[in-house]
Amino acid sequence: MEIDSRAFWVWLQRALGAGSGKPRRILSVFPGPREFYEAGRREWTMLGIFTQKELFAMESFSPEEAQETVRRSEELGHRVVTQESAEYPQCLRNIHNPPCALYVRGSLPDFDAIPSVAVVGTRGATFSGRRIAFGLSCQLAGAGAVVVSGGARGIDTAAHKGALQAGGKTVCVLGCGLDFPYLMENAGLRDSIALCGAVISEYPLGTPGSKRAFPIRNRIISGLCDGTLVVEAAAKSGSLITADLALEQGRDVFAVPCGLDNPVSRGVNNLIKTGAVPVSSGYEILEQYRSRYPGKIRFEKERDLSGLLRGAPASAGQRKPPAPSRRAEPKEERAPCGAEFSADARAVCAQIGPEPVPFSVLGQKTGLDAARLLSALTELELGEKIESLGGRRYRLPR
């Protein structure tokens, strides 16, 4: 049986490793990875660019094994998108070291036809930082941009949730295989992302996360996007690597200014000193791309950031939804939420205790529809009043 052409891309990526720039050198000499494989070791060696370890890997891992990787991925409902595919984003193909193959769960947006912004920052984000990342991402996605991030705790999580809250598209780029149990508290979030965008990785099934993998992954986050927005970052934050990569790739870098008393302000403020564009609204970012994407940015649906930061639902400004039933009124002794939270959030919080409560049960108890309930839960998570578990269940933090 003839080997699928995608298998040769998987073979090449597996042999040379994620982040290698050598496939670009190879493709300047050979029509594709199949022809390169068929040329054999003698011609590989004549190129003079491979280590002995890489030559050994190219011989020890076969295209037949790579085809099995493709088959296993498809069995799980994932797709293998290679550089020869029309679905592969041209913006990513143009970077110095594009991945040979992407493993995709969900649907890749058309990155070459609509604006896209990476929203990144520290895992140890402040309450304010998470709320700002959520609000800015809600603005960006609501106006038609794709929000890209890495699915980690802190700013990444807030960014994905903000995009989903707006009913927009978001893409999560992982530094491990799609089946690896990375940050399982976000498993439900990744499920939602795959329904409204995509969860992607250049790593095959079974690849665990590692400290080395995540910086390599960051070039994909920046490479997919027109610009990268850094919300909070300490002096040595990994998100600064993404910002540096964006600059190397000829992309724009934006930053949210931080107060001097903010423990994660130094990295962001240093970015601004060295040329990053300070912003206080997602629309300020999208204004940069109005002429590049005519008709693709919906400025007429602008959302007020202050309203978003108060936990306003995505339907704010539209017809007022029905009020929650009387049984949703919180009992003061059970509601650890202050007046800074919306009425919906306080009502939901009153129904959550130390034992996990399913999403459907919360809907029944509060009388809130799915959109308002999701908005309230997101607000409570960002405020660290509740924690999300697998299977769309929630409880008070322990």
Residue spans of the domains in the chain: they are 5-76, 116-308, 312-395
pLDDT at residue 382, rounded to an integer: 74
pLDDT at 325: 42
**Dist CA 190 CA 271 (whole Å):** 30
C-alpha to C-alpha distance for 258 and 267, rounded to whole angstroms: 9
No. of helices (H) and no. of strands (E), the chain: 18, 12
pLDDT on residue 398 = 80
For residue 24, what are the contacts with CB-CB under 8 A and spacing of at least 6?
Answer: 96, 97, 98
**pTM for the model:** 0.81
Q: How many CB atoms lie within 10 A of CB 396?
A: 15
For residue 59, the model assigns a pLDDT of 97
Annotate 248-274 with b (16+ C-beta within 10 A) or e (fewer).
ebebbbbbbebeeebebbbbbbebbee
Residues of the chain short of pLDDT 50, as ranges, are 312-335
Which of 115, 198, 126 is closest to 155 using CA atoms? 126
Beta bridge partners of 200: 104, 173
CATH architecture of 116-308: 3-Layer(aba) Sandwich (3.40)
| 1, 47, 88, 235 from 29: Cα distances, Å | 27, 9, 21, 42
pLDDT tens for 341-368 read 888 889 999 999 999 898 889 999 999 9
Q: 4-25: b or e for each residue (b if 16 or more CB lie within 10 Å)? A: bebbbbbbbbbbbebbbebbee
For 312-395, CATH gives 1.10.10.10
